Amino acid sequence: MLSTTGAPESEPLDVSGKAGPPVSIRGLLHAFGDLLALDGIDLEVPGAGVLGIVGPSGCGKSTLLEVASGLLEPSAGRVSVGEAADAPSRTPAGERLARCALMPQRDLLLPWLAAIDNAALGPSLAGASREAARERARADFNRLGLGGFELAKPQELSGGMRQRVAFLRTLISGKQVLLLDEPFASLDAITRAETQAWLAGVLAQDSHTVLLVTHDVEEALYLSDRVAVLTARPARVAATLDVPEPRSPDRAAAVTAADFVELRERALRLLAGGAR
């Protein structure tokens, strides 16, 4: 379904020496009224790095991304996006909004726009003409297996296709930091694996900094340089796991490598609240 044209899927993930805004979160606390959602989160993502975030459902992962994106101001703590890595300062919410693209769990496609116009919403809002905006989306449309559905309305697409359109909307929004909230949750296993491989290629190719929230440990480990495991609400960072480099270019080989499997077991034990 996914063609490999142009996407260097065969390259191992290697983020060294690439520019990209770093993200630094320190002592982040957020409460909704009396309900404490985030309880002192510390996370560091180097420029162009990919941080996976896994945690039990309802632990506050989505809140964490909303805070990072600038939609929410945290109750306490410091969030910096794209500030000098050696002395990161607090980034105001407006600046965070300008630097981050958030892909929410719901696809939120506009039912009155064709699929490609939904994907190209970012450039279009930035002032690009409809044709220019569509041009930005067209190549990736094919690569994501959406070729031929450019002019389909969202309600004519399957759940998986809708999610891919929403992902594309985030990717080409022109922001350097991608905050992905369960981006592939509604894809079937095969499409999901293919899309992960495609994303790994995209991330290796460019300099996006990514925070990837998922409940799928394998997905987090495969796509990320480092994975933070959160506790149940209120969320704290239980552990941060470094994913060994380099990974095999072949996804199937990568996720069955001995060290990968071992890491996955460790992450799952941490999620279950067991011993480290």
Partner 1 sequence: MSARARDVAAPALLFVALIGLWEVAAQTGVLADVLLTEQGAGGGGDAEFLVPAPSDIADALWNDRDLLAEDAWVTLREVVLGFALALVSGLALAVLIHLSKTTRRAVYPLLVASQTIPIVVLAPILVVWFGFGIFPKLLIIALICFFPITVNAYDGLRSVDPDLLKMMRTLGAGRGQTLRRAELPWALPFIFSGAKIAVAVAVIGAVFAEWAGADSGLGHLILVSSGELSTSLTFAAIVVLSAIAICLFALLALVERRVVTWKEGPSS
Give me the residues that bind partner 1 (CB under 8 A), please.
66, 69-71, 97-98, 100-102, 104, 106-112, 121-122, 125-126, 153-155, 159, 162, 169, 173, 186
Tell me whether residue 101 or residue 213 sits nearer to partner 1 (CB atom). Answer: 101
Phi, psi of 268 (to 5 degrees): -65, -40
Q: Which is nearer to partner 1, 106 or 265 (CB)?
A: 106
Least CB distance to partner 1 at residue 266 (A)? 33
Q: What minimum distance in Å lies between the beta carbon of 162 and partner 1?
A: 7
Q: Which residue lies nearer to partner 1 by CB, 126 or 261?
A: 126
Closest approach of Cβ 106 to partner 1, in Å? Answer: 5
Count of helix runs (H) and strand runs (E) in the chain: 10, 9
Pick the closer one to partner 1 by CB: 166 or 243. Answer: 166
Q: How far is the CB of 81 from partner 1 (least distance, A)?
A: 13
Residue 231 CB, nearest approach to partner 1 (Å):
26
Q: What span, in angstroms and rounded, lies between the C-alpha atoms of 184 and 129?
A: 30
Nearer to partner 1, 80 or 118 (CB): 118
Pick the closer one to partner 1 by CB: 15 or 98: 98
Alpha-helical segments (H) within 19-158: 61-69, 93-99, 115-119, 121-125, 130-143
How many residues are there in the chain?
Answer: 276
The residue among 105 and 142 lying less far from partner 1, judged by its C-beta, is: 105
Give min distance, CB of 132 to partner 1, in A. Answer: 16
Shortest CB 256 distance to partner 1, Å: 32
